[in-house]
Amino acid sequence: MKNKADVIEWLEENRKIFTDMADAIWQRPELAFHEFFASALQADFLEEQGFRVTRDVAGINTAFIAEYGQGSPVIAFAGEYDALPALSQKAAPIKEALAPGAAGHGCGHNLLGTAHVAAVAALKGWMAENHINGTLRYYGCPAEEAGGAKTYMARDGLFDDLDAAFNFHPLYANTASKGSMIGVNTLRFRFHGRSAHAGAAPHLGRSALDAVELLNIGINYLREHVTPDVRMHYSITNGGGAPNVVPAEAEGVYMIRAHQPDNLREVTQRVRKIAQGAALMTETEVEEIFVAALSSMLNNHTLADLQYANMQEVGPIIWSDSELDFARQINQAYPPGTDAAIMADYGFTAEKLSAPLLGENYAPLDEGKIATGSTDVGDLSWKTPVSMLTTACWSLASVGHSWGVVATSGMSIGHKGMLHAAKVMALSAIDLYTQPETLRRARAEFEKQLKAHPYVNPIPAHIQPPRFEPGQE
């Protein structure tokens, strides 16, 4: 592979290798920190391709690093492969579970990780043939949906020597992001009270459930007094048992989101005070359990522009009539207007809704916008310049984390978007290896952002990542 055209051709010629890999991961969905099949599949493949593979990194046995080459620049790709609970779905345009209640790839991470594997495999061939100096690295990253492995990896210094990194996520349109996403702290508050017969002697009990409900009420009053970017949501995970027993144990899981790290820390402290107040009001004890913490996203504009330029070189995604019909059926299964609401976030007008899928390449669409979702890619983006690429893998009405995303992630629509991403990222990395000035501009932009807001890893020093063994729940 001497040039970019050769890299594109190689990816096309080897398409089946990577679509088979993505499908194998889709068929065996694994939840956060349990991705033993997916991580081994990718690590073994890259080892066979001549990469140096280090497994079980940052204390996470489903995380790994695959590396080729040596010296500078060090260009990285961060892949993911975890699924979501209770989203089992056939690769079909109607809602029908493969196994009721089972997991499914409702965010397309089977495509996400595999696109990066494809890109680095192609780049290795290009680097070897052209005798390119530098290091190529793939990070196998578990638990993006719940747990934030990249945040642990950042804390352990695994990103400290990077010059730049790429990340791709399946979505609705081919575009590179210049916007941001907010950070999140996820905490579990467990209250310990005293049980009693709720009918005969309620005065002897101290209700842990009352404490959870008072915490929720306090959070709902707090919503009036936070900045517009703040999001707070929760789930009661233990509300007690029989209604005639005052529950001695109850708990909830709480996600507090905000864009600026100092604001996130402040709002989280206010939630902690509400939890303490709920314990005081009910004469219970409160226990705080750390779940996860992710930083906000810094998208590098220099890298976004670079990826857009390479999208134009790759060209648009061309959909077949059967793929368009498949997507159309999925769209019709969602409430009317869902596609229009989703596309409005992109700034697309009504004429873009004439087709059920987007195939064109778009210049960055979100400059200055702050999306109110979160990702652990944020912590990578505070350690090195990152451009988050999206490509069209979902029909226009498929809401994220829903069955429609699972369906297209397991068939040719997702495959095409995945290979499109691999080509764009690989070509962009070639530019960074061969155009030092582009890399210098990306680094200068990044260092200016970091000077204004130095990075503080949000995971407390004493917290270790969850660790499981194959077959362990």
pLDDT at 354 (0 to 100): 80
d(CA 53, CA 47): 6
SS3 assignment, position 107:
coil
In tens, the pLDDT along 120-143 reads 999 999 999 999 999 999 999 999
In tens, the pLDDT along 40-54 reads 999 999 999 999 999
d(CA 238, CA 350): 45
pLDDT at 427 (0 to 100): 98
Alpha carbon 3 to its chain centroid, in Å, reads 31
Q: With contact defined as beta carbons under 8 Å apart, do 57 and 65 qualify?
A: yes
Task: Categorize the per-residue pLDDT at 277 as very low, low, confident or very high, splitting at 50, 70 and 90.
Answer: very high
pLDDT at 367 (0 to 100): 94
d(CA 400, CA 172): 10
Nearest by Cα to 162 from 455, 456, 383:
383
Average pLDDT over every residue of 307-321? 98
Q: What is the rounded end-to-end Cα distance, in angstroms, of the chain?
A: 45
Is pLDDT above 70 for 350? Answer: no
Report the relative pairing of strands 386-392 and 164-171 from DSSP bridges. Answer: parallel
Q: Spell out the residues 6+ positions from residue 315 whose beta carbon is closer than 8 angstroms to its own.
A: 361
- φ/ψ (deg, to 5) at 106: -80, 5
Task: Categorize the per-residue pLDDT at 347 as very low, low, confident or very high, splitting at 50, 70 and 90.
Answer: confident
d(CA 84, CA 399): 14
In tens, the pLDDT along 163-191 reads 999 999 999 999 999 999 999 999 999 99
Reported as half-sphere exposure (CB side, CA atoms, 13 A), residue 190 has a value of 9
Cis-peptide into 73, omega within 30 deg: yes
Task: Tell me the C-alpha to C-alpha distance, in Å, between residue 43 and each of 28, 138, 165, 167.
Answer: 16, 9, 19, 18
In tens, the pLDDT along 58-113 reads 999 999 999 999 999 999 999 999 999 999 999 999 999 999 999 999 999 999 99
Nearest by Cα to 458 from 113, 182, 80:
182
In tens, the pLDDT along 323-339 reads 999 999 999 999 999 99
pLDDT at 391 (0 to 100): 98
- φ/ψ (deg, to 5) at 178: -115, 5
Q: Is the dihedral of CA 84, 18, 390, 378 positive or negative?
A: positive
| DSSP characters over 337-375 | THHHHHHHHHT--GGGGGSSS--SB-----TT-EES---
Is pLDDT above 70 for 268? Answer: yes
Largest interatomic CA distance in the chain: 83
Is pLDDT above 70 for 352? Answer: no
Average pLDDT over every residue of 228-240? 96
Average pLDDT over every residue of 283-311? 97
Reported as half-sphere exposure (CB side, CA atoms, 13 A), residue 208 has a value of 24
pLDDT at 348 (0 to 100): 78
| pTM of this structure | 0.95
Nearest by Cα to 257 from 288, 213, 294:
294
Average pLDDT over every residue of 279-288? 98
> What tokens does 124 get?
């290795």
All domains of the chain, ordered by start, with CATH?
Answer: 4-179+296-452 (3.40.630.10), 183-294 (3.30.70.360)
> What tokens does 423 get?
């080509």
pLDDT at 434 (0 to 100): 98
Q: Is the dihedral of CA 63, 69, 72, 75 positive or negative?
A: negative
Amino acid in position 266: E
pLDDT at 344 (0 to 100): 87
In tens, the pLDDT along 152-162 reads 999 999 999 99
